Structure 1
Amino acid sequence: MQIVVASANPAKINAVQDALQQVFEHQQVCVSGYNTASGVANQPMSSEETLQGALNRQQAVAAAAPGADYYVAIEAGLDGDCSFAWIVIAHQGRISKTRSASLPIPPAALMALQQGEELGDVIDLMFAQHNIKQQGGAIAMLTNHLLTRSSVYQQAIILAMIPFIQPQLFTT
């Protein structure tokens, strides 16, 4: 089974690999990443903008890598004072989408984001890290590594798969 992720970020690719290997436990899952543009700000500042970024990424990766079984796009952004991600999955012309869990952003970090900085860069500075967004993410640093970006995305990916796991319940 071929799955293409609309990102070259290892944290996102690993989340998709781990989640879909659980969903398709008796099948071989081959996950690859493809760098795509979101078409929105580097740090989306609303749920709507974040969803649009995920939808744009999903469309771009489907056009760039035709023939995959599933296309997965993950776009992280802000909603008020929380960070979260939209997950968009496409399969055979159908699209499913869901949001990840939200994490509260410290006030100092939120102010930096409102001034145009990206969360990963702000967290790198706050915790003296480098490129945390391609590792455990802000989630890892803010939870003392109890959760990671990948672990939170995995759950949302599995939830976004529900219409494909239970297609008989999602007929129109």
Structure 2
Amino acid sequence: MKHVIIGSTTQAKIDATRDAFAQLYPHEQFIYTALKVPTGIRPQPITPEETLTGACNRVHNARVNRPDGDFYVGIEAGLDGDLTFAWLVVEDQQGLQGRAKSAGFPLPPRAMAKLAQGAELGNLLDELFHKHNVKQMGGAIGELTGHRLSRASTYRDAMMLALIPLNHPDLYRS
């Protein structure tokens, strides 16, 4: 049984990781541990570079906290202009790393204006959609697509892409 350490306790990130590993490794069994780890960045990253740094820091800090893992996962959502997206980083015990970006989609102008003033998207979603804890219930993508997509479904597909180098280490190890 292999151990996957997820550098987040956000349910959408946990579900996406579990779903991607189950699809790519249907004959393997995994134990998943979700850890709250520091990202080393602001709560709402506003550039792709900052977002990637947050995802990489999640992987690093998960490894520091739990060096017994077989895989380490970091998922960080952020902004690229008026688009929201996530970087997904996964690393194996030997340090081979895979990265992928999730699909991005435009946020409403009203949201962008508040984000420019320093608001965090997760908190802003509750205000925009007059609901509580939207970020844990499908996120902005869920609300804006009538729940046809969710944070977890979007992250799952990108996680499968991030796992490509780990599935083909002979092609990706130098």
- Pairwise TM-score range, normalised by the shorter structure: over 0.9
Instruction: Give, in whole Å, the separation in 2 of the partners of 1:132 and 1:8.
Output: 15
CA displacement at 1:171 relative to structure 2: 3.2
The separation in 2 between residues aligned to 1:13 and 1:109, in whole angstroms, is 26
> d(CA) in 1 for partners of 2:38 and 2:169?
30
**CA displacement, residues 47-104 of structure 1 (integer Å, 9 cap, x when unaligned):** 0110111111110010001111100000000000000000011102111111100011
Return the letter of the residue paired with 1:57.
Answer: R
Aligned partner (choices 142, 145, 166) of residue 144 of structure 2: 142
TM-score by length of 2: 0.96
DSSP-derived class of the 2:87 partner: strand
Q: Distance in 2 between matches of 1:37 and 1:137?
A: 21
Deviates more, 1:128-137 or 1:57-66: 128-137
One-letter amino acid of the counterpart of residue 24, structure 1: Y
CA distance in 2, matches of 1:131, 1:3: 26
Shift of residue 37, structure 1, vs aligned partner? 1.0
- Aligned position for 1:126: 128
RMSD: 0.9
State the partner residue of 1:166: 168
Deviations 1:113-134 (A, max 9, x none): 1111111211111111111112
By how many angstroms is 1:168 displaced? 2.2
The AA in structure 2 aligned to 1:39 is: G
Deviation at 1:139, TM superposition (A): 0.8
Counterpart in the other structure of 2:78: 77
Once the two structures are TM-superposed, the CA of residue 140 in structure 1 deviates from its matched residue by: 0.2
- The match for 1:57 is 58
Following superposition, which runs of at least 4 residues in structure 1 exceed 6 angstroms of deviation? none
Q: Is the 8 A contact 2:71 2:91 kept in 1?
A: yes
Paired AA for residue 107 in structure 2: I
CA distance in 2 between partners of 1:62 and 1:85 (Å): 20
1:40 is matched with which residue? 41
Give ranges in structure 2 of 5+ residues lacking alignment: none
Q: Which residue of 1 aligns with 2:100?
A: 98
Comparing 138-147 with 126-135, greater Cα deviation is found at 126-135
Q: Which residue of 1 aligns with 2:110?
A: 108
Query: What is the aligned residue count?
Result: 172
Q: Which amino acid aligns with 2:103?
A: A
Mapped contact 2:96–2:165 kept (Cα < 8 A): no
Cα deviation for residue 135 of structure 1 reads 2.2
Distance of 2:71 and 2:57 partners within structure 1: 15
